């Protein structure tokens, strides 16, 4: 397994060792000890989520203002561009974002710690997205920052179409007026 800290160093790109053979492949999609070593954390995960989305769907940028969730995310079918935004006011990288392409083919995982907003854009005809979270879903605390907030200036890949958004996500707030973490 290879772990790479991104421009925001708390966000870690994890590339598992994949064992291919005539039957297909095998890899450890989660190993607590290896995860702890890769991220320098020891979070426990309490929920696994699975979503499927069509090409052009953009989910995000989501976070829970209480019960903040760390998320270990991956793709098992298709490809997405995945983004983490640092919304911790005390952080030297507050307001900055990092992104990575995650796909079924590259088997990459992204560790998005608590304190970040998270979202992704589907690049392939469809994508199945799996993630573990460090706290439970708490709808009362859900918040959404606009995917196209000019202050964030996220360079989403050009897929030749406008993003398909949920009603909730089309009303995301600007970071400047959103509730953030201390």
Ligand X SMILES: Cc1cn([C@H]2C[C@H](O)[C@@H](COP(=O)(O)OP(=O)(O)O[C@H]3O[C@@H](C)C(=O)[C@@H](O)[C@H]3O)O2)c(=O)[nH]c1=O
**Which stretches of the chain bind ligand X, using CB under 6 A?**
49, 51, 59-60, 62, 71, 118-120, 137, 166
Q: Closest separation between CB of residue 26 and ligand X, Å?
A: 28
Q: Closest separation between CB of residue 125 and ligand X, Å?
A: 18
Q: What is the dihedral of CA 21, 14, 128, 104, to 10 degrees?
A: -30
- Measured from the CB atom, the residue of 59 and 88 that comes closer to ligand X is 59
Q: Closest separation between CB of residue 138 and ligand X, Å?
A: 9
Query: Can 118 be counted among the known catalytic residues?
Result: no
- Measured from the CB atom, the residue of 35 and 116 that comes closer to ligand X is 116
The C-alpha atoms of residue 79 and residue 98 are separated, in whole angstroms, by 17
Q: Residue 132 — left, alpha, or beta (φ > 0 → left; ψ -120 to 50 → alpha)?
A: beta
Query: Can 63 be counted among the known catalytic residues?
Result: no
- Cβ–Cβ < 8 Å for 111, 87: no
Active-site pick, 63, 107, 118, 131:
131
- Measured from the CB atom, the residue of 51 and 126 that comes closer to ligand X is 51
Q: Closest separation between CB of residue 60 and ligand X, Å?
A: 4
Number of H helices, E strands in the chain: 1, 13
Active-site pick, 27, 43, 62, 136:
62
Burial of 79 (0-12, 13-18, 19+ CB in 10 A): buried
| Catalytic residue ranges | 62, 131
């Amino acid at each position: 397994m290879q772990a790479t800290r991104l421009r925001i160093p708390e966000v870690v790109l994890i590339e598992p060792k994949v064992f291919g053979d005539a039957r297909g492949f095998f890899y450890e999609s989660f190993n607590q000890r290896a995860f702890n070593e890769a991220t320098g954390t020891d979070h426990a995960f309490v929920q696994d989520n699975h979503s499927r989305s069509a090409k052009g769907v953009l989910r995000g940028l989501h976070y829970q203002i209480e019960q903040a969730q760390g998320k270990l995310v991956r793709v098992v079918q298709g490809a997405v561009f995945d983004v983490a935004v640092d919304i911790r006011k005390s952080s030297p990288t507050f307001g900055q974002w990092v992104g990575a392409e995650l796909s079924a083919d590259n088997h990459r995982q992204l560790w998005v710690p608590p304190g970040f907003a998270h979202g992704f854009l589907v690049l392939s005809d469809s994508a199945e997205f799996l993630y573990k979270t460090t706290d439970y879903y708490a709808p009362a605390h859900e918040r959404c920052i606009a995917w196209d907030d000019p202050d964030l200036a996220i360079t989403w890949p050009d897929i030749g179409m406008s993003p398909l958004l949920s009603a909730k996500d089309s009303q995301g707030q600007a970071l400047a007026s959103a509730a953030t973490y201390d």
